[in-house]
Amino acid sequence: MPEMPGDPIVILTDPAMLAHNPGPGHPERPARLQAILDALDRNPISGVCRATPSRATREQIQRIHDSEYVNLIDSLRGKHAQLDPDTAVSPSSVDAAYLAAGAAINAVDALLSPLPLGEGSGVRAETLPPLREGARGCVDHPNSKSAARPSPPLPLGEGSGVRVTAPDKSPNSSSTLPEQIRRAFALVRPPGHHAETREAMGFCLFNNIAIAAAHAIAHHHLQRILIVDWDVHHGNGTQHSFYDRADVLFFSSHQHRLFPNTGDLDQIGHGPGEGFTINAPLPPGFDDAAYLHLYQRLLIPIADAYKPQLVLVSAGFDAHRDDPLANMMLTETGFAHLCALVRDIADRHADGRLALILEGGYHLNALANSVLACLRMLAGQEPPEVADSVDARHNQIIDRICDLHARHWQVIQSQSKP
């Protein structure tokens, strides 16, 4: 049965992303996204609507990526190719990459436009019955008795071709298409945060979250965007996209000396962007309590001082203790706490506008369960308790990280131990 009603959430995804196939044995496999979709069907969450995104335009992509690089990616449509030792494409990969970037953009439009998924965004809504096991659409209130009675598409804007599935709007239905979307989750592949301006890297073709942030600045005229990257691998491409800018604050917690071997503590930005890159390189073994303590001591005071107008998350789940590509000890409960923390930041400063964009996570059950845990937080639930004791060695590392960043953010001076 669906859970009790919470905040409306739009999920942006497309089965076409399953057609991206980097090859046999590759960890970034179609089964990752399928595992999440299957888990959503088995565990419906009230208020969740699924929408089919539009493809990003070339102009939107080129706000981050060089035109010659985009030409290269376009030339691989319909082909098999190996771009680096980790990054490969199949005949449908380029179309999937354009959809992934488009989903991130559509998530931003959903949050920043007055109508659901965007006044002028080109969204078309079609009414469908409430989601039950194996169905698609919005999850209705569990007491709804509405019957399946599809109605014609209702245009809500022009241009993007997005379609959102919404509850049946008969008089007996307890759910209607939300007037305001404040939470979104782009369930996409290929991931994006390693992609550089002129280079595919680390399973990534286009930098989805950077493209979305650039769109929010160019199209919606935002001046302060917070990007939180909790993927276990450092988001090198995202960092480099905004390294000399103050209109994007980039915060990354990641396993130190793991691919791509960037994100050192002293990488803090350059020129106008100095201090607006916050790296927290962590040793193996950081658990739920240590992660939460780090975020409470470092991210919260900085975010409260920065006052972002939009919060975006590179939501990778490979810091999970079961993930085969890293050595961290986060659990689903830990991810729930991180998501609730950034949700509360968005509520305080960004009118609740928060979008998660899927990055890594390579243990199928851990990935699916962690996504569900985050969706419940987006719906307004509170996370289970975690132990509040932090290992002394981990506390020392958090102290050192806070001490360095306090040089640019005096709000955390009082939090650091002498």
Phi/psi of residue 355, nearest 5 degrees: -130, 130
Question: What is the structure's pLDDT at 142?
Answer: 34
Q: Compute the distance between CA of residue 247 and CA of residue 300 in angstroms, rounded to an integer.
A: 18
What's the rounded mean pLDDT across residues 228-252? 98
Q: Can you read off the two tokens belonging to residue 130?
A: 């409430």
CA distances (Å), origin 326, targets 245, 313, 360, 364, 372: 30, 20, 11, 14, 21
pLDDT reading at 150 higher than 50? no
Decide if 288 contacts 334 (C-beta within 8 A).
Answer: yes
What proportion of the chain, given as a percentage, has pLDDT over 70?
Answer: 81
Question: What is the structure's pLDDT at 312?
Answer: 99
Question: What is the structure's pLDDT at 153?
Answer: 26
Q: If you average pLDDT over each of 170-174, 180-184, 356-360, 385-389, which comes out highest?
A: 356-360
What's the rounded mean pLDDT across residues 293-320? 98
Question: What is the structure's pLDDT at 45?
Answer: 94
What is the number of alpha carbons within 13 Å of residue 142 lying toward its C-beta? Answer: 10
- Written as one string, the DSSP assignment of 93-145 is HHHHHHHHHHHHHHHHHHHHSSSTT-TTTT-EEEE-PPP-TT--SPPPPTT--
Q: How far out from the chain centre does Cα 274 lie?
A: 24
pLDDT reading at 171 higher than 60? no
Residues 6+ apart with CB under 8 A from 293: 390, 394, 395, 398
Radius of gyration in angstroms for the set of CA atoms belonging to the chain, rounded to a whole number: 20
What's the rounded mean pLDDT across residues 315-327? 98
What integer best gives the mean pLDDT of the chain?
Answer: 86
What proportion of the chain, given as a percentage, has pLDDT over 90?
Answer: 80
Decide if 361 contacts 373 (C-beta within 8 A).
Answer: no
CATH class of 9-412: alpha beta
Question: What is the structure's pLDDT at 7?
Answer: 79
What's the rounded mean pLDDT across residues 206-220? 98
SS3 (DSSP) at 357: strand
**Every domain of the chain and the residues it spans:** 9-412
pLDDT reading at 225 higher than 90? yes
CA distances (Å), origin 322, targets 107, 208, 291, 319: 29, 26, 16, 8
pLDDT reading at 130 higher than 80? no
What is the number of alpha carbons within 13 Å of residue 133 lying toward its C-beta? Answer: 3
What's the rounded mean pLDDT across residues 280-288? 98
SS3 (DSSP) at 270: coil
SS3 (DSSP) at 228: strand
Phi/psi of residue 249, nearest 5 degrees: -100, 120
Predicted confidence (pLDDT) per residue in 7-23, tens digit:
799 999 999 999 999 99
Question: What is the structure's pLDDT at 328?
Answer: 98
pLDDT reading at 2 higher than 60? no
Predicted confidence (pLDDT) per residue in 79-124, tens digit:
999 999 999 999 999 999 999 999 999 999 999 985 444 333 444 3
SS3 (DSSP) at 14: coil
Q: Which of 197, 54, 220, 226 is nearest to 124 (CA)?
A: 54
Q: Compute the distance between CA of residue 282 and CA of residue 398 in angstroms, rounded to an integer.
A: 9
Question: What is the structure's pLDDT at 144?
Answer: 32
- Residues labelled catalytic: 194
Question: What is the structure's pLDDT at 413?
Answer: 61
Decide if 106 contacts 12 (C-beta within 8 A).
Answer: yes
Decide if 370 contacts 361 (C-beta within 8 A).
Answer: yes
Q: Which of 71, 100, 79 is nearest to 13 (CA)?
A: 100
Q: Can you read off the two tokens belonging to residue 118?
A: 């965007």
pLDDT reading at 59 higher than 90? yes
In this prediction, residue 417 has a pLDDT band, given cuts at 50, 70 and 90, of: very low
Decide if 110 contacts 184 (C-beta within 8 A).
Answer: yes
Residues 6+ apart with CB under 8 A from 248: 213, 217, 225, 226, 227, 241, 242, 276
In this prediction, residue 5 has a pLDDT band, given cuts at 50, 70 and 90, of: low
Phi/psi of residue 95, nearest 5 degrees: -60, -40
Q: Can you read off the two tokens belonging to residue 97?
A: 């990459």
pLDDT reading at 314 higher than 90? yes
What's the rounded mean pLDDT across residues 135-164? 35
Question: What is the structure's pLDDT at 350?
Answer: 98
pLDDT reading at 415 higher than 90? no
What's the rounded mean pLDDT across residues 285-311? 98
pTM given for the model:
0.88
